[in-house]
Amino acid sequence: MTTREDARGLDDADPLAGFRERFTGDGPGGAWDDGPGRRIYLDGNSLGRLPRATPAAVARVVEEEWGRGLVGSWAHWVGQATRVGDVLAAGVLGARPGEVLVADSTSVNLYKLLQAGVGARPGRDVLVCCADDFPTDRYVVAGVAEQHGMTVREVAADVDTGLTLDDITAVLDDRVAVVVLSLVAYRSGAMVDLAAVTELARASGALVLWDLSHAVGSVEVDLSAADLAVGCTYKHLNGGPGAPAFLYVRRELQGSLRQPIQGWFGQRDQFAMGPAYEPTDGVERFAVGTPPVLATAAVEVGARISAEAGMPAIAAKGRALTDLLVTLVDERLPQLRLASPRESDRRGAHVSVEHPQAWQLTQALVDRGVVPDFRTPDRIRFGPAPLYTRFVDVWDAVDRLADVLASDAHLPYSATRSRVT
């Protein structure tokens, strides 16, 4: 049996242990409460924690750049979307400068790049997505397909272990324009091979549009092998609730792609305010309206922390944390079925378990200070964040869950589901 001391030993050897202090804890003044009754937050892949540097960074933009600089600060702000994009490109995405833009929401970016991809594949009338993908991905794909009279073809992937290259091969043919896929599945955490899938799609003439929402900041991503991607900054990048998302377009494709929302921030000579829309050459052509300056300042802080820690170390700790979780579930919680890949190199930094009373268990855990995420219909999802979750936190969370299960403490909870996460 794996002991709490074993977990402590892993923490002692953790090269990222010092990064915990970069984040706000739950104790007085934002210190970390390490007591036995502390909150154990395992939902950093829904909303990442607040970096300690963020309040001052946001306050500086609000009070100095906006409050004192006023319109003069646009000289600085106008490059913010690509400056922070370049931080993400170099630090966490394996992309080149000028390939990543921070803008809009993940859903809006997905729409823009999906439309751009469809436009680049005239005559093809099929979009591919995964039936188990995150709702917004499926809904956006359905909407775009409807607009163009296209068909949506679903990849039949295993909901726990994710899709295989054979699953992808089975849906590809010369009718497919764009494949939309999450690199890390939002429920199971199952990861697919970005380079191999992109190559398969390219061979059949299709583009892959990757949703990196659960991958960015948790696994090593090498976008040099990809054509199109979008992703979220408020999960493992710790950019804040509803923070602006990012989009990636391979440099060589940028000039040939057009996105449909022709806003003035994509215009070549923006302040000439000319009669016709002529998109700029670079990744800014995928920008639309005036960029969200305050919120992007928070994104920059989070992005720089992940870049500093380095994705190899972050990904390695993510695998180790979830390995510990899987081991402890095996050893102590036979009532739960693992609903994620067992091999750590086939998943992101979260794992799900299945139980008929998953909802009630989630509520009982929350009341005992453990914050996982419930995912419909019967999954509890644990997302230990490599930058601030300790191995002993995982051990204690499983211990509290074992207590709940052993005492049937979850049964009094209502099965009514209204929680929003």
Q: Residues forming the annotated binding site for pyridoxal 5'-phosphate?
A: 106-107, 134-137, 211, 214, 234, 264, 290
Distance of CA 71 to the CA centre of its chain: 33
Taking the C-alpha atoms of residue 153 and residue 171, their distance in angstroms, rounded to an integer, is 7
CB of 295 to a second copy, least distance (A): 5
CB of 187 to a second copy, least distance (A): 9
Q: In the complex with a second copy, which residue's Cβ is closer, 291 or 341?
A: 291
Give whole-number Cα distances, 354 to 34, 182, 337, 375, 418, in Å. 29, 21, 5, 10, 19
CB of 136 to a second copy, least distance (A): 4
The residue from 108, 283, 338, 370 that contacts a second copy (CB under 8 A) is: 108
Taking the C-alpha atoms of residue 195 and residue 236, their distance in angstroms, rounded to an integer, is 22
The residue from 36, 37, 149, 275 that contacts a second copy (CB under 8 A) is: 275
CB of 278 to a second copy, least distance (A): 9
Residue 383's DSSP bridge partners are: 43
Angle between helices 135-148 and 106-119 (to 10 degrees): 40
C-alpha triplet 174, 179, 182: angle, nearest 5°: 160
Taking the C-alpha atoms of residue 223 and residue 225, their distance in angstroms, rounded to an integer, is 5
Query: Taking CB under 8 A as the rule, does residue 391 contact a second copy?
Result: no
Query: Taking CB under 8 A as the rule, does residue 231 contact a second copy?
Result: no
Taking the C-alpha atoms of residue 155 and residue 217, their distance in angstroms, rounded to an integer, is 26
Taking the C-alpha atoms of residue 345 and residue 260, their distance in angstroms, rounded to an integer, is 37
Restricted to residues 148-167, the positions that interact with a second copy (CB under 8 A) are: none
Restricted to residues 304-323, the positions that interact with a second copy (CB under 8 A) are: none
**Bridge-based pairing state of the strands 351-354 and 228-231:** unpaired
Restricted to residues 73-102, the positions that interact with a second copy (CB under 8 A) are: 73-75, 77-78
Q: In the complex with a second copy, which residue's Cβ is closer, 47 or 320?
A: 47
CB atoms < 10 A from the CB of 122, how many?
Answer: 8
Q: In the complex with a second copy, which residue's Cβ is closer, 1 or 75?
A: 75
Query: Taking CB under 8 A as the rule, does residue 131 contact a second copy?
Result: yes
Query: Taking CB under 8 A as the rule, does residue 66 contact a second copy?
Result: yes
DSSP 87: H
Spell out the residues 6+ positions from residue 217 whose beta carbon is closer than 8 angstroms to its own. 48, 92, 235, 236, 237, 238, 302, 306, 311, 314
Please enumerate, by residue number, every residue annotated as part of a binding site. Answer: 106-107, 134-137, 211, 214, 234, 264, 290
Query: Taking CB under 8 A as the rule, does residue 256 contact a second copy?
Result: no
Query: Taking CB under 8 A as the rule, does residue 280 contact a second copy?
Result: no
Restricted to residues 162-221, the positions that interact with a second copy (CB under 8 A) are: none
Known catalytic residues are: 134, 211, 234-235, 381
Stretch that binds a second copy, among 143-151, 168-176, 303-311, 344-352 (CB under 8 A): 143-151
Query: Taking CB under 8 A as the rule, does residue 333 contact a second copy?
Result: no
Query: Taking CB under 8 A as the rule, does residue 415 contact a second copy?
Result: no
Q: In the complex with a second copy, which residue's Cβ is closer, 235 or 332?
A: 235
The residue from 138, 251, 346, 400 that contacts a second copy (CB under 8 A) is: 138
Does residue 123 sit in helix, strand or coil?
Answer: coil
Restricted to residues 7-46, the positions that interact with a second copy (CB under 8 A) are: 24, 26, 30, 41, 43, 46
The residue from 212, 293, 329, 380 that contacts a second copy (CB under 8 A) is: 293
Q: In the complex with a second copy, which residue's Cβ is closer, 1 or 70?
A: 70
Q: In the complex with a second copy, which residue's Cβ is closer, 245 or 404?
A: 245
Taking the C-alpha atoms of residue 49 and residue 243, their distance in angstroms, rounded to an integer, is 13
Query: Taking CB under 8 A as the rule, does residue 242 contact a second copy?
Result: yes
Query: Taking CB under 8 A as the rule, does residue 49 contact a second copy?
Result: yes
Give whole-number Cα distances, 190 to 23, 187, 269, 386, in Å. 27, 8, 43, 17
Q: In the complex with a second copy, which residue's Cβ is closer, 10 or 23?
A: 23
Does residue 39 sit in helix, strand or coil?
Answer: coil
Spell out the residues 6+ positions from residue 359 whose beta carbon is closer than 8 angstroms to its own. 374, 378, 413, 415, 417
